[in-house]
Amino acid sequence: MGYKTIIGLEIHSELLTDSKIFCGCSTEFGGDVNTHCCPVCLGLPGALPVLNKKVVEYGIRAGLAFNCDISNHTKMDRKNYYYPDLVKGYQISQYDLPLCEEGYTELDTEEGKKKVKLIRIHIEEDTGKSIHSTDGGTLLDYNRSGVPLIEIVTYPDMNSPEEAKNFLDKLKSILQYIEVSDCKMEEGSLRCDVNINVVDEETGEKTMVTEIKNLNSFKAAVKAMEYEEKRHIALLEKGENTIRETRRWDDTKNETISMRVKEDASDYRYFPEPDIVDMDISNDWIENIKNNLPELPQAKMERFMKAYNLPEYDASILTSTRALANFYEKTVEYSNDPKQVSNWIMGDILRRLKDEDMEIEDMRFGAKELANLLKLIEEGKISNNIGKKVLRTMFEEGGDPNSIVKEKGLIQINDEDEIKKMVSEIIEKNPQSIEDYKNGKDRALGFLVGQVMKATRGKANPQMVNKMILEELNK
């Protein structure tokens, strides 16, 4: 019996405007609690909202990047519900006339390209933040109240947690490329809700849709989807069904927990926001925003393949984030070997970033320093292995590789007489390895090379060492 998983996503992304959506308060993250507030974002009586034009522009920019139709006429609406961090008792959002509709993006899957369609992208205000104390009390910080958001709603076009994760990765990359959001999930600037159900492909029976709210990491989103997928299938196999509910993910228990029965749009009693006039958006403005969009990930990947003769895999990794792509291109400007730069970034650098949970922009060195390191290797002044040690120092302490090599005395030994003398000493000390090599044990060669490298603290030219030892062994 086969089951098909059906997943749709709702993504909330804070916008990178300097001020909030309806007032002039700062959107900067990390200020002292309740210091980025005013009567408007605190919802005080008599305070009137004024729409930030930049928010509309960023919403249009996102819509164009996702191939949406941009509305020439749109408006804001009141979404009524009560929650302590929603100071007015309603949220100013968009209901029946969203800013952007019917977009899409494409995913690479094992079966080829797959189109994930978007229902809409609309603009709205964020809520405040509840801070739960250890004594059971709740404190409220309204710095986030009124920070501008776009909400991106997909059709249920994804059929596995892995597909949904790929979509989220691509969405995050595009939003960063077009500079409308920093997508820092740890700061709450990107949050995800999941709608998921399962259908029995033999009988056609479907489970009711479950919504999983406020997932603050892609890892949590995938775990929650995998858990719900199994839960829905287990219910179908028992002849039972889910209820239409909202659940949350518990990282400690590694399970979803029921919060409430899922609301319908009618529960929010939407009506047009009376304090903000409707918006008429000209085609000229839309076209101007479109003409000024930065290069998007797919276009950059294709350019990297052509301009730098990179394989598709390399180009896709290097363009996965705008910061990584910029770092690569900057390094290539100082280097004459694009593939060598790609190999080092995709190998040692990305591995180190992953191990230390760092972003490329957090490194203690820049593109010029990496290019200088690769130049030292290319010129034969240090070996590849010494280069890896120097890179480790650059990660831990920063600094220019030329200075590090000089201070630590790491310049490669290329003097033939000096290396020949060391090779002779090592061969003389290891007669058994010579015998092993003559008996067909090739690893004896590696052992002897390793002994020379150890004696020179890795500074001897490995190619010269290998060649000289072979010459001696074959005499």
**What is the mean pLDDT of the segment spanning 205-225?**
87
Query: Lowest mean pLDDT: which of 89-103, 324-338, 434-448?
Result: 434-448
Q: State the Cα–Cα distance between residues 358 and 376, nearest whole angstrom.
A: 26
Contacts of residue 392, Cβ cutoff 8 Å, sequence gap at least 6: 352
Q: State the Cα–Cα distance between residues 345 and 349, nearest whole angstrom.
A: 5
**What is the mean pLDDT of the segment spanning 320-346?**
92
In 3D space, the residue among 102, 103, 101, 98 whose CA is nearest the CA of residue 73 turns out to be: 98
Q: Nearest 5 degrees, angle CA 382-CA 311-CA 348? A: 35
What the block records as the tokens of 259 is: 């919060």
Name the band, by pLDDT with cuts 50, 70 and 90, for residue 137.
Answer: confident
3 state DSSP class of 460: strand
pTM over 0.95: no
Backbone φ, ψ for residue 164 (5° rounding): -65, -40
The reported pLDDT for the residue numbered 83 is: 81
Backbone φ, ψ for residue 93 (5° rounding): -140, -155
The reported pLDDT for the residue numbered 149 is: 94
For residue 157, give the amino acid letter: D
List the alpha helices (DSSP H) in 85-205: 161-177
Contacts of residue 153, Cβ cutoff 8 Å, sequence gap at least 6: 8, 9, 10, 11, 118, 119, 120, 121
Q: State the Cα–Cα distance between residues 13 and 205, nearest whole angstrom.
A: 34
Summarize pLDDT for 258-314 with one digit per residue, the tens. Answer: 887 766 656 788 999 999 999 999 999 999 999 999 999 999 999 999 999 999 999
**Percent of the chain clearing pLDDT 90 (strictly above):** 46
Task: Please check whether residue 469 is in contact with residue 449, taking contact to mean a CB–CB distance below 8 angstroms.
Answer: yes
**Percent of the chain clearing pLDDT 70 (strictly above):** 85
Task: Please check whether residue 308 is in contact with residue 345, taking contact to mean a CB–CB distance below 8 angstroms.
Answer: no
Q: Each residue of 41-79: b (16+ CB within 10 Å) or e?
A: bbbeeeeebebbebbbbbbbbbbbbbebebbeebbbbbb
Judge whether residue 324 has pLDDT over 70.
yes
Contacts of residue 413, Cβ cutoff 8 Å, sequence gap at least 6: 419, 456, 459, 460, 461
The reported pLDDT for the residue numbered 219 is: 86
The reported pLDDT for the residue numbered 251 is: 82
Between 97 and 422, the more confident residue is: 97
Task: Please check whether residue 242 is in contact with residue 197, taking contact to mean a CB–CB distance below 8 angstroms.
Answer: yes
Judge whether residue 415 has pLDDT over 60.
no
Q: State the Cα–Cα distance between residues 469 and 437, nearest whole angstrom.
A: 11
What the block records as the tokens of 71 is: 């509305």
Between 214 and 338, the more confident residue is: 338
Summarize pLDDT for 428-455 with one digit per residue, the tens. Answer: 666 666 666 666 566 666 676 667 666 6
Q: Please state, as a whole number, how many other Cβ atoms lie within 10 Å of the Cβ of residue 416.
A: 11
Among the CATH numbers 1.20.1280.50, 3.40.50.360, 1.10.10.410, 2.30.31.70, which is that of 416-473?
1.10.10.410
3 state DSSP class of 254: coil
Judge whether residue 382 has pLDDT over 90.
no
Q: In the predicted model, what is the mean pLDDT of the chain?
A: 86
Judge whether residue 460 has pLDDT over 70.
no
**Strands 190-200 vs 148-154: parallel, antiparallel or unpaired:** unpaired
Q: State the Cα–Cα distance between residues 184 and 171, nearest whole angstrom.
A: 13
Summarize pLDDT for 16-67 with one digit per residue, the tens. Answer: 999 999 999 999 888 889 899 999 989 898 899 999 999 999 999 999 999 9
Name the band, by pLDDT with cuts 50, 70 and 90, for residue 466.
Answer: low
Name the band, by pLDDT with cuts 50, 70 and 90, for residue 252.
Answer: confident
Task: Please check whether residue 15 is in contact with residue 150, taking contact to mean a CB–CB distance below 8 angstroms.
Answer: yes
* Annotated domain spans of the chain: 3-285, 295-408, 416-473
The reported pLDDT for the residue numbered 135 is: 81
What does the DSSP assignment read for 82-112?
Answer: --TT-TTSEEEE--SS-SEEEEEEEEEETTE
